[in-house]
A and B are shown apart, each in its own frame.
Chain A
Amino acid sequence: MRVLACGDAALLVELDGLEPVLALYAALRDVPPEGVTDLVPAARTLLVRIDRSVTDLGTMRRALGELPPGAGRQAEGELVQVQVVYDGPDLQEVARLTGRTAAEVVAAHTRLEWTVAFAGFAPGFGYLVPNGPWPEVARRTDPRTRVPAGSVGLAGPYSGVYPQESPGGWQLIGRTEARLWDLGADPPALLRPGVRVRFLEGG
Chain B
Amino acid sequence: MKGLEVLATGPLTTVQDLGRPGWAALGVGRSGAADRDSLRLVNRLLGNPEATAALEATLGGLVLRAVGDLVVAVTGAVGPVTVGGRDAPLNTVLHLDDGAELEVGTPVAGLRSYVGVRGGLDVAPVLGSRSTDVLSGLGPPRPAVADVLPVGLAPAHFPVVDAAPVVPPSNGDLMLRVALGPRDDWFTEDAINALLGTAYAVSPDSNRVGMRLTGASLSRRRADELPSEGVVSGALQVPPSGQPVLFLADHPVTGGYPVVAVVLEDDIDRAAQARPGTEVRFGIPGVPRRERGRP
Asked if A118 contacts B254 (CB within 8 A), the reply is yes
A12 at the interface (CB under 8 A from B): yes
Distance of A186 Cα from B28 Cα, bound (Å): 14
A60 at the interface (CB under 8 A from B): no
Asked if A6 contacts B182 (CB within 8 A), the reply is yes
Chain B residues touching A, majority SS: loop
A47 contact from B23, B231, B263, Cβ within 8 A: B231
Asked if A183 contacts B24 (CB within 8 A), the reply is no
Distance of A46 Cα from B178 Cα, bound (Å): 21
| Total count of chain B residues near the partner, CB < 8 A | 33
B136 contact from A8, A42, A123, Cβ within 8 A: A123
Asked if A12 contacts B182 (CB within 8 A), the reply is yes
Asked if B264 contacts A7 (CB within 8 A), the reply is yes
Separation in Å of the A65 CB from the closest CB of chain B? 18
Asked if B126 contacts A183 (CB within 8 A), the reply is yes
Distance of A41 Cα from B23 Cα, bound (Å): 12
Distance of A45 Cα from B25 Cα, bound (Å): 12
Asked if B232 contacts A49 (CB within 8 A), the reply is yes
Distance of A187 Cα from B181 Cα, bound (Å): 33
B120 at the interface (CB under 8 A from A): no
Distance of A46 Cα from B259 Cα, bound (Å): 15
Asked if A29 contacts B179 (CB within 8 A), the reply is no
A91 at the interface (CB under 8 A from B): no
Mark out the residues of chain B between 240 and 280 whose CB falls within 8 Å of any chain A CB in the assembled complex.
Answer: 252-254, 259, 262-265
Separation in Å of the B176 CB from the closest CB of chain A? 11
Asked if B26 contacts A189 (CB within 8 A), the reply is yes
Separation in Å of the A94 CB from the closest CB of chain B? 21
Q: Encode contact with B along A6-40: 1 for CB under 8 Å, 0 otherwise.
A: 11111010000000000001000100000001111
A192 at the interface (CB under 8 A from B): yes
Distance of A40 Cα from B126 Cα, bound (Å): 20
Q: Encode contact with A along B217-243: 1 for CB under 8 Å, 0 otherwise.
A: 000000000011111101100000000
Mark out the residues of chain A between 120 and 150 whose CB falls within 8 Å of any chain B CB in the assembled complex.
Answer: 120-126
With a CB–CB cut-off of 8 A, which chain B residues contact A5?
Answer: 179, 181-182
Asked if B229 contacts A45 (CB within 8 A), the reply is yes
Q: A40 with B182: in contact, given A8-B265, A47-B229, A188-B127 (CB under 8 Å)?
A: no
Distance of A82 Cα from B25 Cα, bound (Å): 21
A52 at the interface (CB under 8 A from B): yes
B21 at the interface (CB under 8 A from A): yes
A173 at the interface (CB under 8 A from B): no
Asked if A192 contacts B232 (CB within 8 A), the reply is no
With a CB–CB cut-off of 8 A, which chain B residues contact A126?
Answer: 27
Q: A43 with B228: in contact, given A6-B259, A123-B26, A183-B127 (CB under 8 Å)?
A: yes
Q: A187 with B30: in contact, given A42-B254, A123-B138 (CB under 8 Å)?
A: no
With a CB–CB cut-off of 8 A, which chain B residues contact A10?
Answer: 230, 232, 262
Distance of A9 Cα from B28 Cα, bound (Å): 18
B85 at the interface (CB under 8 A from A): no
A193 at the interface (CB under 8 A from B): yes
B26 contact from A37, A42, A52, A124, Cβ within 8 A: A124
With a CB–CB cut-off of 8 A, which chain A residues contact B25?
Answer: 25, 29, 38-41, 118-119, 192-193
A9 contact from B24, B136, B230, B232, Cβ within 8 A: B232
Q: A119 with B26: in contact, given A5-B181, A6-B259, A183-B127 (CB under 8 Å)?
A: yes
With a CB–CB cut-off of 8 A, which chain B residues contact A192?
Answer: 25-26
A12 contact from B24, B229, B252, Cβ within 8 A: B229
B286 at the interface (CB under 8 A from A): no
A44 at the interface (CB under 8 A from B): yes
A4 at the interface (CB under 8 A from B): yes
Q: Other CB < 8 Å A-B pairs besides A42-B229, A124-B26, 9 of them?
A: A8-B262, A10-B230, A41-B230, A47-B229, A47-B232, A49-B232, A118-B25, A123-B27, A126-B27
Closest 7 pairs (CB-CB, A-B): A47-B230, A40-B230, A7-B262, A119-B27, A4-B182, A43-B227, A120-B254
30 A-B residue pairings within 8 Å (CB atoms)? A4-B182, A5-B179, A6-B181, A6-B231, A6-B262, A7-B179, A7-B234, A7-B235, A7-B265, A10-B232, A12-B229, A41-B230, A42-B227, A45-B230, A46-B230, A47-B231, A52-B265, A118-B25, A118-B228, A118-B254, A119-B26, A122-B27, A123-B23, A123-B28, A124-B27, A125-B27, A183-B126, A187-B26, A188-B127, A193-B25
A binding-site residues for B, Cβ under 8 Å: 4-10, 12, 25, 29, 37-47, 49, 52, 118-126, 183, 187-189, 192-193
B binding-site residues for A, Cβ under 8 Å: 21-28, 30, 126-127, 136, 138, 178-179, 181-182, 227-232, 234-235, 252-254, 259, 262-265
